[in-house]
Amino acid sequence: MHRVPDLPELQATAERLGTQLSSEEAEVYRRHLTRMLAEFDDFVQARAAEVRPPRFPGAREPGYRPGPDEDPHNAWTWKCSVAGSDEGILTGKTVSYKDHTAVAGMPMAFGAHALSGHVPDFDATVVQRALEAGATVVGKNVMNGLAGGYGFGGGVGDYGRPLNPHNPLHLTGGSSSGSAAALVDGEVDISFGGDQGGSIRIPAAWSGTVGHKPTFGLISHFGIGFGSDQSIDYTGPMTMSVRDAALALEAVAGYDGLDPRQTRDVPDWYDATSGLTNEIEGLRIGVLREGFLGATEAVTDSVQQAIEVYEKLGAVVTEVSVPEHLTIGAAQMALSAEAALAVRGSGFYGAFTRTYYPEDTIAAITRAWQHDQELLDPRGLLTLMAGEFSRRYWAGRLYAKAQNVRPAFIAAYDQVLSEVDLLVMPTTITQAPQFEPIDDRITALDFALQSPVSQSAVANTRPFNFTGHPALAVPCEKRDGLPVSIQLVGRMFDDALLLRAAHAFSEAVPFTEWLAVEAA
């Protein structure tokens, strides 16, 4: 028996939509709604043929949630073993995923207890392709998610704080924090994170891994959750070696027809490995002046030493300037508020595109939004309220302007990248800060709504979520027991060149050795 709103509920709904109805008018609307909702109910219940969700074939064991003895740095929400094809470029490699990526048969909670127990029945493209390439999926990693998290400190979040293996008293970075900890612990070869403002590259920098945010659209985002605008959201590999990052990119990159963000500029297949070991003599590197603003002395000195290594390898280094680097954050912030509101209104995986829509996941998250908002990230609620008032005060102009200024920001970087081959700067302007627990509820709430740690962390990462340029975080060295990271940024779809430059650096400064030895 289908449900029908009563008159007060109908009138309240109309008022939220911007109009007031008298009792007589509401009764007329109610009569027509009764008919429409009955038709909707019939359709939902009907045994109509539906497309089968994408899923790598084969039986899967359900896996388990590891205890603290097996997971001392709290890197894992779930462990499993899903074998891929018998051969492929990832044969022998283990792969894990941030817990916003669908792996059929494995729980996916998006970092929120309110969604614990949800199990998708389909594979994200990055899962399907990794399995096709011979990888073995070994689990899901703790993330900052729909309930917040501790990657940037504070006192709000579910699933606990992933500990930095280099120094557990310090932060791992968010939001792909569990992925970074698992990699440094040597428990997985490749972990795919997610990045809306630096959430691959920041934990890579603070925890000492390679972290790749690819060119926008190069890796399909199908089957991966997002909480803000799809035009700033990415997935990409985190690894302990540049070679593994290149293998992972080659295995999963390319057009798939399921992600509406992918244009036909995205190739069907991407070669990330054939030129990986080529020399970099003559490579033109631009040192981004604005990227060092506010950086600590230790970070500045370490990155400058990394640049000197490039000079010794034959690269031609010059200083360059992109003043827009300092103002682009305002545009992305303006974009995010109404975007979050739009995601809430259209559904967690969006709307309007001919693709596969995972019904169970959409329903689970919608129920959490409707009934468990108090259990979710308070920053998400703040963003929603900002979007609501933005829409009310500026009637959509804010979001439109934020999208429409994007080409000018892209052009500013492209102009410099027409004169050099890639840009370098610190990935983050500080090393991993010390964790400061917050027990007071109001103080924790205030910190969650505007974390000063996260605001400084995104200074050099967030701009390239907005523009779409590929960006790669590469460890430099340790200072006082904590990693420092250099970020390489390149032209659109020039990800292979970034990996080649990073590989040359890693051969000259074998960071895998000191990271692995000291983390063991």
246: helix, strand or coil: helix
Q: Residue 65 domain-assigned?
A: no
Q: Looking at 96, 175, 485, 506, which residue is catalytic?
A: 175
Q: Looking at 177, 179, 191, 199, which residue is catalytic?
A: 199
- Whether 99 and 179 have beta carbons less than 8 Å apart is answered as no
Report pLDDT for 243.
98
Residue 35 domain boundaries: 7-45
Q: Residue 1 domain-assigned?
A: no
- The tokens describing 22, both together, are 């008298």
116 is catalytic: no
Report pLDDT for 2.
66
Report pLDDT for 450.
82
Same domain, 411 and 337: yes
Q: Alpha helices of 233-358 — where are they, by DSSP H?
A: 242-252, 297-312, 328-346
Q: Residue 66 domain-assigned?
A: no
H or E stretch including 209?
none
Same domain, 117 and 38: no
Same domain, 468 and 420: yes
CATH number at residue 166: 3.90.1300.10
Q: Residue 63 domain-assigned?
A: no
pLDDT tens digits along 80-104: 999 999 999 999 999 999 999 999 9
Same domain, 19 and 134: no
Domain count, the chain: 2
pLDDT along the chain (520 residues), means of 10: 84 88 90 86 83 89 94 97 97 98 96 95 97 98 92 92 96 96 97 96 98 98 88 97 98 96 94 98 98 98 97 98 96 90 89 91 93 90 89 92 97 98 98 94 88 89 98 96 98 98 95 59
Report the sign of the C-alpha dihedral through residues 267, 271, 272, 278, in that order: negative
Same domain, 425 and 320: yes
pLDDT tens digits along 407-438: 999 999 999 999 999 999 999 999 999 999 99
Same domain, 40 and 155: no
pLDDT tens digits along 203-236: 999 999 999 999 999 999 999 997 778 999 999 9
Q: Residue 67 domain-assigned?
A: no
98 is catalytic: yes
Report pLDDT for 167.
96
Q: Residue 62 domain-assigned?
A: no
Q: Residue 69 domain-assigned?
A: no
> For 212, left (φ over 0), alpha (ψ -120 to 50), or beta?
beta
Q: Looking at 79, 93, 98, 140, which residue is catalytic?
A: 98
**Closest listed residue to residue 469, CA positions, set 489, 485, 496:** 489
Query: Burial code of 25-57, b = ≥16 C-beta within 10 A, e = fewer?
Result: ebeebbeebeeeeeeeeeeeeeeeeeeebbbbe
Q: Residue 188 domain-assigned?
A: yes
Same domain, 489 and 401: yes
**Closest listed residue to residue 106, CA positions, set 120, 126, 91:** 120
Same domain, 137 and 40: no
369: helix, strand or coil: helix
175 is catalytic: yes
* CA atoms within 13 A of residue 398's CA, in its CB half-sphere: 21
d(CA 338, CA 332): 11
Same domain, 22 and 171: no
Report pLDDT for 421.
98
Report pLDDT for 517.
40
Same domain, 359 and 222: yes
Same domain, 243 and 340: yes
Same domain, 280 and 153: yes
CB atoms within 10 A of CB 384: 18
